[in-house]
Structure 1
Amino acid sequence: MPHDIHFVLGGARSGKSRIAENLAFDSFKTMASDDAQLLYIATAQAFDDEMQARIDLHQQRRGDAWKLVEAPIDLADNIKLYDNPHTVMLIDCLSVWVTNLLIGDQDIKAESEKLCHGLDNSQATIFCVASETGLGIVPDNALSRQFRDESGLLNQHVAALADHVYFVTAGLVSKLKP
């Protein structure tokens, strides 16, 4: 069975996570299988109270239909673990994942290739969320420029292999692909 990859990207507070959640939930509702599952693969880690509040808001908004899988680093392994045609996965978000790789001194290129291979070979329906980081000014420090570059390259790779790409601005969706 061919994969069905959806890529939802936009700026900070654009509404991209809410849009992706709604798209994933709608896709899940159309599955006729009794063993269908709806997964939320979270990459965020609560390093402070403000981030915990954001995580709590996302969890409240999603409700009980979702199974939570925390994958701040091992994203490709979790895609493989839950890969089957009766699964809808929402990965939120790739930009936070890149940050985790950066601060964890991981090989971002190798991990990104592993992720893209996992996405491209999956039988699941997968929704990926990411921030568009290339629309702003050039960052003033090397770490921020590295994040922007790595995130932008990953976004290009995911968009190329995705079946559907959406751009969210101010809660409004523009479909870029197909």
Structure 2
Amino acid sequence: MMLITGGARSGKSRQAEELAAQAASRVLYIATSQIFDGEMAQRVAHHKASRPAHWRTVEAWRDLGRFITPANPPGEAILLECVTTLVTNLMFDEGGEQDPETWNYAAIEAAVNQQIDQLIAACAACPAPIFLVTNEVGMGIVPENRLARHFRDIAGRVNQRLAQAADGVWLVVSGIGVKIK
């Protein structure tokens, strides 16, 4: 498993796509975004159009062990885009319709960690090369609101766990990838 991290618009997606294409001629692309508005629909369409047409795409953000299995062929790389979107989806799914000010963030983080445990185990059991894209969320100022602070903390801890479990980690800054593990 390879983790590719960086800030927004750092080039981490392009780096991950290049690594996946180098690792295998076929790629299973697991897209974790959900479309809630026109802007997000345009972003997803742009991402889809930029990928090779022969790459398979699955849209999912929960129970990813359904797609990352010991049965995956080693000749097809898996690219998961992106872990921080997955974390966001899980947090809002667990928080439900309640005001985020009233959320039980410890329980939400436990639920997120359960999904991340399953993801790490699935990656370890899968023979295919796997590339996980995530945002580096800890290099800015402390967010002003409670939800953003908890998101930063949970996503940062998830990234640490994934980096520890990964065989390699890339940091991408201004379109330049540097292997840091």
Normalising by structure 2, we get a TM-score of 0.86
**Matching residue of 2:115:** 111
1:7 to 3, 9, 31: 3
Amino acid at match of 1:101: L
Give aligned-pair identity as a percent.
Answer: 41
Amino acid at match of 2:149: R
Q: Secondary structure at the match of 2:33?
A: coil
Q: Secondary structure at the match of 2:24?
A: helix
Contact 2:82 2:132 in 1 (8 A): yes
Query: Which consecutive segments of 4 or more residues in structure 1 shift more than 4 A?
Result: none
Contact 1:71 1:78 in 2 (8 A): no
**d(CA) in 1 for partners of 2:137 and 2:175?**
17
**Matching residue of 1:66:** 55
**Matching residue of 1:32:** none
Could you tell me which runs of 5 or more consecutive residues in structure 1 were left unpaired when the two chains were aligned. 30-36
Alignment of 1:143-154 (within 5 A): 143-154=147-158
Contact 2:2 2:167 in 1 (8 A): yes
Report the alpha carbon displacement of residue 122 of structure 1 after superposing the two structures with TM: 1.8
Report the alpha carbon displacement of residue 81 of structure 1 after superposing the two structures with TM: 7.6
Cα root mean square deviation, aligned: 1.5
1:171 to 159, 175, 178: 175
The one-character-per-residue Cα deviations of 1:25-65 (angstroms, maximum 9, x if unpaired) are: 11113xxxxxxx41000000111111111111111110212
Q: Secondary structure at the match of 2:130?
A: strand
Report the alpha carbon displacement of residue 82 of structure 1 after superposing the two structures with TM: 5.7
2:20 to 14, 21, 24: 24
Amino acid at match of 2:5: L
Normalising by structure 1, we get a TM-score of 0.88
**d(CA) in 2 for partners of 1:118 and 1:145?**
29
**d(CA) in 2 for partners of 1:116 and 1:140?**
31
Contact 2:30 2:58 in 1 (8 A): yes
Report the alpha carbon displacement of residue 76 of structure 1 after superposing the two structures with TM: 2.9
1:77 aligns with 2:66: yes
Report the alpha carbon displacement of residue 73 of structure 1 after superposing the two structures with TM: 2.1
Amino acid at match of 1:39: L
Contact 1:9 1:129 in 2 (8 A): yes
How many matched pairs?
Answer: 166
Q: Secondary structure at the match of 1:12?
A: coil
**Matching residue of 2:136:** 132
2:42 to 53, 77, 96: 53
Contact 2:70 2:125 in 1 (8 A): no
